[in-house]
């Protein structure tokens, strides 16, 4: 076994060995520099006011209380925090683990990029050009401040990109195994793995729920291929789904049973984010006295008055993320505002949950135009000439640290924080943070040139990619040579579409983290779409330049 490999290695041209060496040195240097940038940041993780739903279950378990989900959050990320705190007794371990996963995301990015090239059976472009472009994309992802600071946050956005690019890689390898390598067993494993990852990610980021369906369509399509044995198709779909249910969704349901806010958190969130549209429906019902409405005239009047008052109070608190809405739904949801004061009118949680559900559904039925306008306006925040995936603004860690310390020091939270030494030390460190070197890791060229260019080119690039896919579908020769790559590009844009539609329906794309978490798949897809266009053009040009034999020449030679 060793002798043929040795002979092949000796037969390799020297320039190819040099190229291979330089390629590996290049990605190692990029990875090393990216690691230095990450681990030279202040060790404590960044956080925001959403931290409690993720941190409190871990803290409660550490002091001997049951592990119970909080504020409607799934158990996966709180469980991740608990395991790290239990093992290392420091919240600083979270940033270390997330940065390691971030570097792993970069390695998966490059591995997927190189694997995707095999979807072109006979590419006329040299492999080194494809690898060089992949190294450029890798450097952008790993060295931009956006990915570094996302990993530094105490949020699931710090680890979700790893699983997103992992699932993307499984899809690419599934297509290779089935249609290029003719390895049905390997395709079965990759297809099942892609489904399992797709069902896992929504437990980190619920906005990936629709994405999980759209991005695995190539695998689901395989289930209808009657040339494959039924048991093979059955195993590819049912085994990962059952495993995801038993290992993920059933524990999630069990841990959520004692979450006091589980019943009202999601419906209250949907109600407050659509407060202006629902307010219009409340006013219409109050004026029409519709018997289909199970609430008295007095109740509706009190609720409408309260909602109007609290929306006005929320307007001065609006920050950048909610500016497109014109009010602050988080103020209505979290502060001493609408959702708390509604308890004076509807006294029990089931009553309030039923009210939120009723009016969210009723507004969709009675005011579909207004609700669709809200969805369209939200999608326009993403699909424009300044795609929000690519953040190129500035910020300081010092302000975030100060706000987190203040939040965790509030009387209703600090007693639990103080009982866990690691959490108490974290808060003390935040209070003592002086802000020096808090914003020194944003690369100026990337921040001022590359990220704005990528943001402005996303929409034109996507439209051009869709036209290119249409060209490929309409041309039999291109379908044979570029069809699989076009499927991968379509899957990449489905990652954006699924996330954005879900967020537009249930929240707002004005909140930056919903777009920023899509960085790795968006950058990967933009690179793929550009390469697809280059391959198609070069293929067509090469075809045109082939010598064409005239009829009289053929007769003469015969």
Q: One digit per residue, pLDDT tens: the chain, 558 residues?
A: 444 444 444 445 777 888 889 999 999 999 999 999 999 988 899 888 788 889 989 999 999 888 888 777 888 999 999 999 999 999 999 999 999 999 999 999 999 999 999 998 888 888 889 999 999 999 999 999 889 989 999 999 999 999 999 999 999 999 999 999 888 888 888 998 999 999 899 989 999 999 999 999 999 887 776 666 667 667 777 777 787 788 777 777 777 777 767 778 889 999 999 999 999 999 999 888 888 889 998 999 999 999 999 999 999 988 778 888 899 998 998 888 899 999 999 989 889 999 999 999 999 999 999 999 999 999 999 999 999 999 865 556 777 888 888 888 888 888 888 899 999 999 888 888 765 555 545 677 888 899 999 999 999 999 999 999 999 999 988 898 899 999 999 999 999 999 999 999 999 998 888 999 999 999 999 999 999 999 999 888 876 554 444 444 444 444
Q: The tokens of 544 are what? A: 């045109």
126 and 242 housed in the same domain: yes
Residue 166 lies in a domain: yes
Helical pair 51-62 and 76-88, crossing angle rounded to 10 deg: 50
245 and 97 housed in the same domain: yes
Residue 27 lies in a domain: no
Q: For 47, which DSSP code?
A: -
What's the total number of domains in the chain? 2
235 and 145 housed in the same domain: yes
Which pLDDT score, from 0 to 100, does residue 288 have?
Answer: 87
Q: For 13, which DSSP code?
A: -
Which pLDDT score, from 0 to 100, does residue 335 have?
Answer: 84
What is the C-alpha to C-alpha distance for residues 112 and 523, in angstroms, rounded to an integer? 13
Q: 509 - beta bridge partners?
A: none
168 and 198 housed in the same domain: yes
What is the C-alpha to C-alpha distance for residues 227 and 88, in angstroms, rounded to an integer? 52
Q: What is the CA radius of gyration of the chain?
A: 27
246 and 150 housed in the same domain: yes
Token pair 């995301």 is found at: 105
Token pair 């424009």 is found at: 384
SS3 466: helix
444 and 490 housed in the same domain: yes
111 and 141 housed in the same domain: yes
Which pLDDT score, from 0 to 100, does residue 404 have?
Answer: 84
Residue 412 lies in a domain: no
245 and 280 housed in the same domain: no
Which pLDDT score, from 0 to 100, does residue 24 have?
Answer: 93
Which pLDDT score, from 0 to 100, does residue 254 have?
Answer: 78
Sign of the C-alpha dihedral computed for residues 519, 521, 522 and 528 taken in this order: positive
Buried b (16+ CB within 10 A) or exposed e, 308-326: eebbebbeeebeebbeebe
**What pTM was computed for the model?**
0.90
Residue 60 lies in a domain: no
197 and 102 housed in the same domain: yes
Residue 377 lies in a domain: no
Q: Which residue in 308, 290, 462, 262 sits closest to 382, CA to CA?
A: 462
Q: How far is CA 184 from CA 181, 244, 467, in A?
A: 9, 23, 32
252 and 310 housed in the same domain: no
Residue 408 lies in a domain: no
Q: Where in the sequence is the domain holding 361, given as residue range(s)?
A: 264-368
Q: How far is CA 517 from CA 154, 259, 418, 499, 509, in A?
A: 13, 27, 32, 10, 12
Which pLDDT score, from 0 to 100, does residue 90 have?
Answer: 93
218 and 289 housed in the same domain: no
Residue 353 lies in a domain: yes
Which pLDDT score, from 0 to 100, does residue 438 have?
Answer: 55
222 and 106 housed in the same domain: yes
Residue 549 lies in a domain: no
Helix (H) or strand (E) holding 72: none
552 close to 526: Cβ distance less than 8 angstroms: no
């Amino acid at each position: 076994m060793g002798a043929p490999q040795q002979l092949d290695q000796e037969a390799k041209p020297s320039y190819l060995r040099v190229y291979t060496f330089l390629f590996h040195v290049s990605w190692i240097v990029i990875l090393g520099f990216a690691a230095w940038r990450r681990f030279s940041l202040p060790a404590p993780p960044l956080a925001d006011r959403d931290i409690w739903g993720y941190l409190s279950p871990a803290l409660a378990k550490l002091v001997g209380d049951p592990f119970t989900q909080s504020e409607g959050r799934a158990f996966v990320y709180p469980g991740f925090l608990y395991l790290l705190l239990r093992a290392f007794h420091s919240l600083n371990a979270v940033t270390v683990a997330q940065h390691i996963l971030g570097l792993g995301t970069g390695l998966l990015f490059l591995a997927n990029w190189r694997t995707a090239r095999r979807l072109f059976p006979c590419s006329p472009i040299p492999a080194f050009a494809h690898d060089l472009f992949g190294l450029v994309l890798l450097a952008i992802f790993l060295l931009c401040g956006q990915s570094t600071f996302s990993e530094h946050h105490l949020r699931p956005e710090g680890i979700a990109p790893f699983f997103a690019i992992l699932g993307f890689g499984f899809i690419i390898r599934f297509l290779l195994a089935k249609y290029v390598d003719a390895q049905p067993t390997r395709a079965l494993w990759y297809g099942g793995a892609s489904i399992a990852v797709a069902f896992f990610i929504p437990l980190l980021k619920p906005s990936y729920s629709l994405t999980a369906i759209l991005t695995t369509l190539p695998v689901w399509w395989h289930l209808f291929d009657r040339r494959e044995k039924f048991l093979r198709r059955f195993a590819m779909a049912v085994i990962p789904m059952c495993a995801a249910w038993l290992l993920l969704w059933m524990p999630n349901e069990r841990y959520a049973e004692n979450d006091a806010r589980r019943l009202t958190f999601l419906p209250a969130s949907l109600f407050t984010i659509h407060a202006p549209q629902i307010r219009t429906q409340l006013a219409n019902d109050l004026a029409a006295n519709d018997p289909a409405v199970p609430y008295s005239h007095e109740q509706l009047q009190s609720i409408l008055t309260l909602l109007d008052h609290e929306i006005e109070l929320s307007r001065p608190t609006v920050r950048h993320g909610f500016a497109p809405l014109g009010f602050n739904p988080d103020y209505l949801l979290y502060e001493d505002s609408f959702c708390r004061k509604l308890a004076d009118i509807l006294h029990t949680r089931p009553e309030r949950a039923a009210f939120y559900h009723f009016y969210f559904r009723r507004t969709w039925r009675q005011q579909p135009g207004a609700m669709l306008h809200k969805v369209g306006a939200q999608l326009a925040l993403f699909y424009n000439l300044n795609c929000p995936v690519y953040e190129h603004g500035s910020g300081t860690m010092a302000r975030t640290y100060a706000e987190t310390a203040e939040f965790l020091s509030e009387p209703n939270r600090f007693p639990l924080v103080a009982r866990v030494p690691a959490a108490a030390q974290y808060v003390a460190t935040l209070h003592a943070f002086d802000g020096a070197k808090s914003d020194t890791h944003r690369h100026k060229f990337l921040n001022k040139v590359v990220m704005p260019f990528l943001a402005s080119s996303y929409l034109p690039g996507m439209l051009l990619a869709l036209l290119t896919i249409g060209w490929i579908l309409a041309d039999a020769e291109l379908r044979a040579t570029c069809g699989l790559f076009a499927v991968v590009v379509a899957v990449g844009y489905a990652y954006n579409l699924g996330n954005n539609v879900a967020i537009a329906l249930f929240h707002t794309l004005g909140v930056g983290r919903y777009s920023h978490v899509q960085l790795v798949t968006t950058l990967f897809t933009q690179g793929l779409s550009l390469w697809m266009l280059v391959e198609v053009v070069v293929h067509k040009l090469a075809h045109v330049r082939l010598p064409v034999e005239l009829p009289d020449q053929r007769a003469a030679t015969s």
